[in-house]
Amino acid sequence: MAEAPSATKGILCTGTLLDREEVAGGIHLLEFSLRALQGVLPLMPRPGQFYQVKCGDGPEHMLRRPLSAHGTDGTDDEVRIQFLVEVVGWGTGRLCTLEPGESVSLLGPLGNGFAIGKGDGKNLLVAGGIGIAPLYFLAREMEKSSIKYDMLAGFKSGDRYYRPLDDLSGGVEVYTEDGTAGELGVVSAAVPGYLERGYDAVYTCGPEAMMLSVAEKCDGAVVTCQVSLDSRMACGIGVCRGCVKEGTGGRRLCICTDGPVFDSHEVLWRDGTSASISNNI
């Protein structure tokens, strides 16, 4: 596996919303223009890195929401960041009512991001639901570097299907649980068939049970698998220890600063029944 990048020290900055569009049922694409608070231009994020996004000013909600970067571009004096946000609770709901011109405070980019292999390797990206957010970004970055990839994307149903997937240059296969778009079925079930075609690395993000299933299939095929973990977070910078998860070998994984991307072997998986942790954020 390529050497894992280390976490960056994010900075506080103000993001002004340039555009917001509901791109699928309850899923909004938001683009912010970032300027720094103290004259320092923010870093551009790498795929897999995230931001702590402030969703409201009052004392009712104290926590920011951790959101993966979905894309970025920029100039000498501006950084643009895209987020793909699914409305699942108060914070994400508030973000998805913002109008262009409104501003929010962002802390980032945070975390390590995916370790992208170099050269001629072939990569498989496996996304479940809103897990498409960082993996679409990863796919775009791979295209820029002429790195080969294929993507498997699973959604609950066709109304959640993320149309920009059609524009990717890699191979994309879509699965829905009800068969209303793409193939009928769960995306992880397609992984073994793909791995038989020969991949060097797998990158996955989605519900924890899905990522566990993908990681197990990668083990069987002796392919490295990077997983992007989700967690509730308070600080996002490693001080509160609120997002710490037990890892293998007695390690404590601080998802915000050691991750959120891990080699699947670093993660001590829970049993499937309690796996999904990305609810109601």
- Whichever of 112 and 231 has its CB closer to another protein, that residue is 231
Choose which of 17, 87, 189, 244 interacts with another protein (CB under 8 A).
244
User: Considering only 14-22, 43-51, 116-124, 231-239, which stretch makes contact with another protein by CB under 8 A?
Assistant: 231-239
Instruction: Residue 70: name the closest of 159, 139, 157, 173 by CA.
Output: 139
**Residue 241 binds another protein (CB under 8 A):** yes
User: Of 120-128, 171-179, 235-243, 258-266, which segment contacts another protein by CB under 8 A?
Assistant: 235-243
- Nearest 5°: CA angle at 46, between 127 and 265? 55
Residues 141-163 as b/e (b if ≥16 CB within 10 A, e otherwise) read: bbeeeebbbbbbbbbeeeebbbe
Phi, psi for 131 (deg, rounded to 5): -60, -10
Backbone angles phi, psi at 17, to 5 degrees: -70, 125
Q: How near is the Cβ of 109 to another protein at its closest, in Å? A: 14
CB of 277 to another protein, least distance (A): 7
Question: Is residue 243 at the binding interface for another protein, with CB under 8 A as the rule?
Answer: yes
Contact criterion met (CB below 8 Å) for 83 and 30: yes
Tell which one of 54, 140, 160, 217 touches another protein (CB under 8 A).
54
Only segment of 139-147, 161-169, 201-209, 241-249 that touches another protein (CB under 8 A): 241-249
3-state secondary structure 91-127: HHHHHCCCCCCCEEEEEEEEECCCCCCCCCCEEEEEE
Q: Rule CB under 8 A: is residue 9 a binding residue for another protein?
A: yes
SS3 (DSSP) at 173: strand
Q: Whole-number minimum distance, CB 41 to another protein, in Å? A: 16
How many other β-carbons are positioned within 10 Å of the β-carbon of residue 101? Answer: 8
- Residue 272 interacts with another protein (CB under 8 A): yes or no: no
**Piece of 94-102, 140-148, 206-214, 239-247 that binds another protein (CB under 8 A):** 239-247
Residue 2 — φ and ψ, nearest 5°?
-60, 155
Residue 25 tokens, joined: 């049922």
Q: Provide the mask over 122-141, with x wherever binding to another protein is found by CB under 8 A and - wherever it is not.
A: --------------------
Query: How far apart (Å, rounded) are the C-alpha atoms in residues 172 and 192?
Result: 16
Q: How many residues bind another protein (CB under 8 A)?
A: 30
Contact stretch for another protein (CB under 8 A) within 80-88, 156-164, 190-198, 245-253: 245-253
Query: If we measure between CA atoms, which residue out of 111, 63, 110, 69 comes closest to residue 91?
Result: 63
Q: Does 278 bind another protein (CB under 8 A)?
A: no
Strand (E) or helix (H) holding 140: helix 132-144
With CB under 8 A as the contact rule, the residue among 41, 63, 88, 189 that binds another protein is: 63
Instruction: Using the rule CB under 8 A, give the single segment among 7-15, 77-85, 136-144, 176-184 that binds another protein.
Output: 7-15
Residues that bind another protein (CB under 8 A): 9, 11-12, 54, 59-64, 105, 107, 231-235, 237-246, 252, 274, 277
